Every structure is written in structure tokens, then in C-alpha cells.
Amino acid sequence: MQDIITDEVLAKAAEGDIAAFESIYKATSGFVYNVAYRVVYNAHDAEEITQEVFLKVYKGLKNFRKQSSLKTWIYRIAANSAINYAKKTAGESRRRDDFRSAVDLRQVPAGTAAGTPRRYEEAIEMLLKVLNPDQRLCVVLRSIEGLSYREIARTLKVNINTIRSRLKRARSKLITVRKEVVGDEM
């Protein structure tokens, strides 16, 4: 991404050049949508969050000081927007107590062959739904997007130990859910 988005493109976009901003959008919108989707697990909501993120990016580019990479800066905006959206809508959709019913691996379609990518994707989606938005985002950034603990901490502007703690709690919760659903056979 950094090769595509040069300092010249950033400068032009910050001055309001739509074509320059469009190149930033094209280079980064995929991962913004993926982060948003992995936090809210709703395509419409992820699209809405993505639009919100790029409005913030467009308005904030003139203040971007390159203290972090553009990717980290946009990740931070995407992550915070997705978490805020998830927290805002959490009460509207379901309570945390209802998470176990949402994570029944037996709901994976019976006709889906074992080991298919679709089945794994559905299982991952169902498992991630049991986590709170902060934990889910850390898992997504670490395990799916491949960021290091330090990069996640910088992106979310929290202490690295907070990231470690969130990931540990998330893993613990996922193990508990797996044991409840599948049993100790694994």
C-alpha cells in the first residue's frame, strides 16, 4: 500500500484533490471494510462504517502528521469507528448473555462438507460473535490482519499489556465456548 500512496498523493488529497483521495480509498477500502465487518458481522453495517471512516479520513488528511504510517492511522480510525458502532448498537441487537445461543457450531449447514473454506468462515464468524467488540477487534487485527501486538497497541492507542490481556481473555472465552459446544474430545 505504501508504494501506491506516495507523499505527493497524500499532499494532493489533503488539499482536496478527489482523484488523489480516490487512490487512497481504492488502496485501503478493502481492509477497512474487512476490519469493520469482523467487528460487526453485518455487511450493511460494515459498509456504513466504511463510509464513515472515509469521511473522517477525508476531513482529517490535512491534519495527518505522519507520526505513524497511513495504514496504521486508517486502521485506528476504522477500529475505533467499528468498536463505537458495535457498542452503540449492542443493546439494540442482543445482550451479552445471549451470546452462547449465537455460537452454536451445530448451526453450520449440515450439507456443507467438512473442511470447506465456507464452513470454516462460518465457524470463525460464530465464534468471534461471543467476544466483546474490543476483544474481537484485537483478535481480528492479530490473527486475521496479521498485525503485531505493538502495531495493534499503536493502532488502538492503548498499552501493549492491554492488548495482551484482551487477547488472553478472548482466547480463554473461545476455548470455553469450544468446550461447551464440542466437548473435551478435541
**pTM (two decimals):** 0.64
Domain count, the chain: 2
Pick from 95, 94, 60, 62: nearest CA to 80: 60
Q: Is residue 155 scored above 60 in pLDDT?
A: yes
pLDDT band at 116 (very low <50, low <70, confident <90, very high): low
Select from 44, 68, 93 the last residue of a domain. 93
Distance CA 127, CA 55 (A): 31
**Owning domain of residue 8:** 1-93
Q: Is residue 96 scored above 90 in pLDDT?
A: no
Mean of the pLDDT values across residues 62-88?
A: 87
Verify that 86 and 111 share a domain, yes or no.
Answer: no
Distance CA 159, CA 164 (A): 9
Distance CA 91, CA 133 (A): 13
**For residues 86 and 159, which has the higher predicted lDDT (pLDDT)?**
159
CATH number, domain with residue 78: 1.10.1740.10
Verify that 79 and 150 share a domain, yes or no.
Answer: no
Verify that 68 and 103 share a domain, yes or no.
Answer: no
In this predicted structure, what is the pLDDT of residue 154?
A: 87
What is the amino acid identity at position 53?
A: V
Radius of gyration of the chain (CA): 18
Span 33-54, pLDDT tens digits: 999 998 888 899 999 999 999 9
The grid coordinates listed for 120 are 470454516
In this predicted structure, what is the pLDDT of residue 97?
A: 40
For 107-111, 135-139, 149-153, which range has the lowest pLDDT when averaged over its residues?
107-111
Pick from 41, 51, 53, 48: nearest CA to 80: 53
In this predicted structure, what is the pLDDT of residue 103?
A: 45
Q: Is residue 114 scored above 70 in pLDDT?
A: no
The grid coordinates listed for 27 are 488502496
Q: What's 141's DSSP letter?
A: I
